[in-house]
Amino acid sequence: MQLSNQAAGALLLALQKCLWEQTDIMPLLQEMVFEMSDDGLVVTNPPVVSGDLSELEEDASQEE
């Protein structure tokens, strides 16, 4: 049994989200539902990341 590219991406997205929000990753991982497909395991409910891009643009302009 292997992770599909989609499942690997979902796990990395969960890690990035938790690092960004400085929260524990375990609740996100426990909520993930995996199903078997021809490509390997897939996540049927990947994490959703939303944010305000203007904050990133402000941070980038301040670094210049």
| DSSP assignments along the chain, one per residue | --B-HHHHHHHHHHHHHHHHHT--SHHHHHH--EEEETTEEEESS-------HHHHHHHHHHH-
Token couple for 39: 């490509």
Which residues of the chain, if any, have pLDDT below 50?
none
Residue 46 to residue 26: CA distance in whole angstroms: 14
Model pTM score: 0.73
At 60 the pLDDT is: 67
